[in-house]
Amino acid sequence: MSRLFEPVTLGSLRLKNRLVMTAMSTCFAGPGGEVTDRLVEYYATRAGGGVGLITVEEAYIHPQLPHVKNALGVFGSHLIPGLQRVTRRIHENGSRASLQIGLYFRQALNGFPRYAASSKAPDCSAGCKELTPEEIQYLTGLYADAAERAREARFDAIEIHACHGCLVAEFLSPYWNHRDDEYGGSQSGRFRFALEILKMIRNRLGDEYPLLFRISGSEFTPDGFTPEDAVALSKELENGGLSAVSVSGGLGHVNHIAIPPGDVPRGLLLPIGKQIRSEVNVPVIIGNSMTPKMAAEAVSSGMADLIGIGRPLIADPQWPHKVKAGRANEIRHCLRCNQGCFGALQDESRPYIRCMYNPEVGREFECPIQEAESKKKIIVIGGGPAGCEVARVSKIRGHRVVLLEKSAFLGGQINLAAATPAKSDFRKMVEFYAGELKRLQVDVRLGTEATDELLKSLTADVYVFAIGSRPVKPPIPGVDLPHVILAWEVLAGKIQLPEGPVAVIGGGASGLETADFIADGHHSVTVIEMLNTAGRDIQPGIGVREGLMQRLEEKQVKIFTGYRAVKIEEDGVIISDRPLIGGGNETRVPAGRVVLALGMQSPLSEQRPDLPDQAMWYRVGDCRNPGNAIQAIHQAFDLAIRI
Ligand SMILES: Cc1cc2nc3c(=O)[nH]c(=O)nc-3n(C[C@H](O)[C@H](O)[C@H](O)COP(=O)(O)OP(=O)(O)OC[C@H]3O[C@@H](n4cnc5c(N)ncnc54)[C@H](O)[C@@H]3O)c2cc1C
Ligand SMILES: Cc1cc2nc3c(=O)[nH]c(=O)nc-3n(C[C@H](O)[C@H](O)[C@H](O)COP(=O)(O)O)c2cc1C
Ligand code: SF4
């Protein structure tokens, strides 16, 4: 069996295996940092999936300094009983619990003044208060107070957050820390705050209590914290009595190594982990985009002692059990889309994290999937993500389900998304649904278009339409010329583009991703977008948009924003800088092929389709309101738990 499942000890703490759930803020706590049922059962479910150690998300140590909305708190003794509920449920489900303790001024939400390691830090142009040595000592005490509370709440270990641009990381990093007193200047000056925290916690909790630091292996930034810094810091921490070091990377919100989207290579931190491991004796935990295969290899080849896994456990808490049982093919793999999880942290309108295609995340406490009281026959029309999710949940609830899909495969538009350069992980979603529907023995009929006659002949109690949306073809003069094609046709590989210039009309997500797909060195690509900003429908700040825009720049894709395509000609597109009705300055964009990416519309009318009189019918996903997959899947789930 893989060494991943061999026991290991972190100081005095024995773990049943070498898998560690890394800290991830959920926003499931209450407004005052208190534990909620939602938070408790989310962690209990992950513990039940077989992971050896759960690092409960970063808890804030000063009442005015939560780092995200509804962050978990550990700043007062009134919070201890709630935290005890978390540890009790994690222990009952067979795992061990660690609490990450941290402090951010940069992300502080309550309007608290921005203090910093250094007022000369790159993001302090608007003014930061540089912490004085007295203030630093006060904060050191807050870490130690929080550590004592964590132990009282029966956490088996604590972890100090010291990467991703949090306060300790600011001190450690030459990128942020430009002090010239004893807390800066040299490497040992930069390390002082971290080491003083360690020392004070050790003084208060003794030598035995398991104590971890989560550090950066590299900030991957010019002038940032380097692998050499990471090795030196790990040695110093080991000398100070550290039990294990957990290695992450990046600079938090400044670059996207910390929570990498799908275009960042996997395993970036492994060589650094190996380097640290060769220089220290304490166990080294390495995470960041690990697949089961990479995790097993990293442990067996000695690159890491333990493997940190984050988002894969949001998507599928059973990841460890499935890997151990040789059922890795059944995992609901994380797509590194960052849409549901990281995206929620960056978006004030969303209360807490969710997952693209695990709609149970955050709802574990209410056990949303229950056996149906009356079993029905359900016909699902369309095998995109919405149809697959309705079929999956309905079958689990005991209904008889038939799924009709007109094409030869499941997945709908997800197959197109997976064809684009940064989203190949999306293929895993299609594989998951295909595997689950087979395992659940859903009657899936591929290559079967649902016509009125067929639907009538398959009498059922419930019909769920999940037939997706269709690309809009606007009445631009020349739109029917033979060289005008749809982005879908390009991404589906139905059309090979001859060499030469290509114009993409529409600079939303699918237009830009299609441009990214086409711009391969043989085609010069121009995108024409009517709005002032291209890619407005891609959430900023979670790495996806940033990576895409950077690639388009590198591939020299030209983007015209604020321009309307007024006419398509045989070898070009006429565009106008008066997007309302055209006119003004007109420019000609040369194009041997013109690709349309102008949004989606539903093919269904509001009217009841021609169905048996007594039957119920519903619409879900893009055919109800064209949007995105996460919306389609969650809508499908919400319907399926009610039928
Ligand atoms: C390039 C691209 C990138 C995208 N990237 C993202 C992303 O990063 N994140 C995100 O959240 N969303 C993304 N989307 C959008 C997302 O893919 C869709 O919102 C989602 O697939 C909608 O799901 P659905 O099941 O409602 O419809 P669809 O995926 O369109 O599936 C509908 C299915 O119904 C079938 N069907 C239609 N008519 C019939 C019939 N009469 N009988 C039987 N079967 C029928 C179709 O063949 C199809 O398989 C992307 C889309 C594209 C094109
Ligand atoms: C929603 C979310 C919140 C996170 N919050 C934290 C955090 O509070 N502390 C931390 O050290 N890392 C945090 N991370 C980073 C993860 O622990 C992990 O290092 C990262 O997601 C990469 O690993 P993965 O590919 O296994 O997810 C967070 C990640 C996500 C997705
Ligand atoms: S929302 Fe996306 S990135 Fe986050 S856990 Fe789910 S699949 Fe992974």
What tens digit of pLDDT does each residue of 107-128 get?
Answer: 777 788 899 999 999 888 778 9
Nearest CA to ligand 2 atom 6: 24
CATH of the domain at 197: 3.20.20.70
Among 19, 25, 74, which residue has the most ligand 2 atoms within 8 Å of its CB, making it the best to mutate? 25
> Does residue 355 share a domain with residue 380?
no
User: Is there an atom of ligand 2 within 6 Å of 24 CB?
Assistant: yes
Instruction: Look up the domain containing 423 and give its range.
Output: 371-469+602-640
Give the list of residues 6+ apart from residue 282 with CB closer than 8 angstroms, or none. 10, 11, 234, 238, 242, 243, 244, 245
> Does residue 305 share a domain with residue 192?
yes
pLDDT bucket at 613, cuts 50 / 70 / 90: confident
> Does residue 325 share a domain with residue 395?
no
How many other β-carbons are positioned within 10 Å of the β-carbon of residue 397?
20
CA 285 to centroid of chain Cα atoms: 20
From the CA of 310, how far away is ligand 1's center (Å)?
27
Of 330, 365, 400, the residue at which a domain comes to its end is 365
Quick one: which atom of ligand 1 is closest to the CA of 449? Answer: 42
User: Is there an atom of ligand 2 within 6 Å of 312 CB?
Assistant: yes
Q: Which ligand is nearest to the CA of 429?
A: 3
> Does residue 576 share a domain with residue 430?
no
What is the pLDDT averaged over residues 501-525? 94
> Does residue 630 share a domain with residue 589?
no
User: Is there an atom of ligand 3 within 6 Å of 106 CB?
Assistant: no
> Does residue 205 share a domain with residue 131?
yes
CATH of the domain at 556: 3.50.50.60
Among 24, 46, 356, 360, which residue has the most ligand 3 atoms within 8 Å of its CB, making it the best to mutate? 356
| pTM of the complete model | 0.97
User: Is there an atom of ligand 1 within 6 Å of 490 CB?
Assistant: no
User: Is there an atom of ligand 3 within 6 Å of 151 CB?
Assistant: no
Q: Is residue 474 part of a domain?
A: no
Q: Is residue 414 part of a domain?
A: yes
> Does residue 629 share a domain with residue 542?
no
What tens digit of pLDDT does each residue of 378-389 get?
Answer: 999 999 999 999
Q: Which ligand is nearest to the CA of 539?
A: 1
> Does residue 426 share a domain with residue 512?
no
User: Is there an atom of ligand 1 within 6 Å of 412 CB?
Assistant: yes
Q: What is the chain's mean pLDDT, rounded?
A: 95
pLDDT bucket at 253, cuts 50 / 70 / 90: low
pLDDT at 1: 56
Q: Which ligand is nearest to the CA of 621?
A: 1
> Does residue 312 share a domain with residue 377?
no
- Residue 607 above 80 pLDDT? no
Of 349, 365, 381, the residue at which a domain comes to its end is 365
Q: Is residue 475 part of a domain?
A: no
Give the list of residues 6+ apart from residue 254 with CB closer than 8 angstroms, or none. 123, 165, 221
> Does residue 273 share a domain with residue 420?
no
> Does residue 258 share a domain with residue 178?
yes
Q: Is residue 36 part of a domain?
A: yes
How many other β-carbons are positioned within 10 Å of the β-carbon of residue 398?
14
What tens digit of pLDDT does each residue of 261-272 get?
Answer: 999 999 999 999
Percent of all residues in the chain with a pLDDT value above 90, rounded to a whole number: 89
User: Is there an atom of ligand 3 within 6 Å of 311 CB?
Assistant: yes
What tens digit of pLDDT does each residue of 163-175 get?
Answer: 999 999 999 999 9
Quick one: which atom of ligand 2 is closest to the CA of 308? Answer: 26
* E strand or H helix at 604: none
Nearest CA to ligand 2 atom 4: 24
Query: Token pair of 567, please?
Result: 């006419």
Q: Is residue 102 part of a domain?
A: yes
Of 365, 391, 420, the residue at which a domain comes to its end is 365
From the CA of 261, how far away is ligand 3's center (Å)?
10
Quick one: which atom of ligand 1 is closest to the CA of 624? Answer: 26
From the CA of 335, how far away is ligand 1's center (Å)?
16
Alpha helix (H) ranges present in 153-186?
167-172
